[in-house]
């Protein structure tokens, strides 16, 4: 019940690109590293799965950098987290098929699947635009509600 720091860094990176790369649409890792106080070499590693999943596009060579491959409103936190954490399932049920002869296993499979669905439902309901405070034309209308604004004491 824990998200690794790789996922957190990936989220911070994507938010930074979304927020500061909006003018030219492009930002270098070096700049992000300085502003977020993260090692450049580590960021290079964080950025790779994000590239592989097609969430970012890169401009190589001097003056290059990274750009969002899609508009920030079309990238969800779930996209980023799943890319960063790898494709491994949230929880495996000891094979998930062979050992289900026991009394209690089938209900636990349903339980874990439901948990995974609950998590996905939340993280896919928050877009990068929400997180970066980018004012977007509100086409759908359910963009920000998952953040639960005003409900908690954190605002």
Partner DNA sequence: CGGAAACCCTAGGAATTCTCTCGGATTAAC
Partner DNA sequence: GTTAATCCGAGAGAATTCCTAGGGTTTCCG
Query: Hey, which residues between 13 and 72 contact its own copies (CB under 8 A)?
Result: 15-16, 19, 35-36
Nearer to its own copies by Cβ, of 58 and 108: the residue is 108
For 6-100, strand residue ranges (E) read 56-59, 65-68
The interface partner of residue 83, options being DNA, its own copies, none and the CB cut-off 5 to 8 Å by kind, is none
The interface partner of residue 155, options being its own copies, DNA, none and the CB cut-off 5 to 8 Å by kind, is its own copies
Site of tokens 């509100």: 138
Q: Please, which residues bridge with residue 58 across strands?
A: 66
> Among residues 41, 102, 140, 142, which is the contact residue for its own copies, using CB under 8 A?
102
User: What distance in Å separates the CA atoms of residue 18 and residue 4, rounded to the nearest whole number?
Assistant: 22
Q: How far is CA 48 from CA 9, 21, 83, 147, in A?
A: 12, 18, 9, 27
Nearer to its own copies by Cβ, of 62 and 102: the residue is 102
- Residues in contact with its own copies, counted by CB under 8 A, come to a total of 53
Among residues 2, 29, 6, 3, which one has the least CA distance to residue 16? 29
- The verdict on 114 binding its own copies (CB under 8 A) reads yes
Identify the H or E element spanning 105: helix 105-123
Token pair of 23, please?
Answer: 């003018």
The interface partner of residue 133, options being DNA, its own copies, none and the CB cut-off 5 to 8 Å by kind, is its own copies
Q: What is the DSSP letter of 72?
A: G
Name the residues that contact its own copies, by CB under 8 A: 1-3, 7-8, 11-12, 15-16, 19, 35-36, 77, 81-82, 85, 88, 90-91, 93-94, 102-115, 117-119, 121-123, 126, 130-133, 146-149, 152, 154-155
């Amino acid at each position: 019940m824990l998200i690794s720091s790789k996922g957190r860094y990936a989220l911070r990176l994507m938010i930074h690109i979304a927020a500061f790369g909006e003018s030219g649409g492009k930002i270098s890792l070096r700049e992000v590293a300085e502003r977020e106080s993260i090692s450049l070499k580590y960021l290079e590693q964080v950025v790779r799965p994000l590239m592989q999943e097609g969430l970012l596009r890169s401009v190589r060579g001097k003056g290059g950098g990274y750009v969002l491959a899609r508009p920030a409103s079309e990238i969800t936190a779930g996209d980023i987290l799943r890319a960063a954490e790898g494709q491994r399932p949230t929880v495996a049920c000891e094979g998930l098929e062979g050992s289900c002869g026991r009394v209690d296993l089938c209900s636990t499979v349903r339980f874990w699947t439901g948990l995974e669905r609950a998590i996905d439902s939340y993280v896919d309901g928050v877009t990068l635009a929400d997180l970066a405070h980018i004012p977007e034309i509100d086409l759908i209308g359910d963009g920000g509600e998952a953040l639960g604004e005003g409900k908690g004491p954190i605002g």
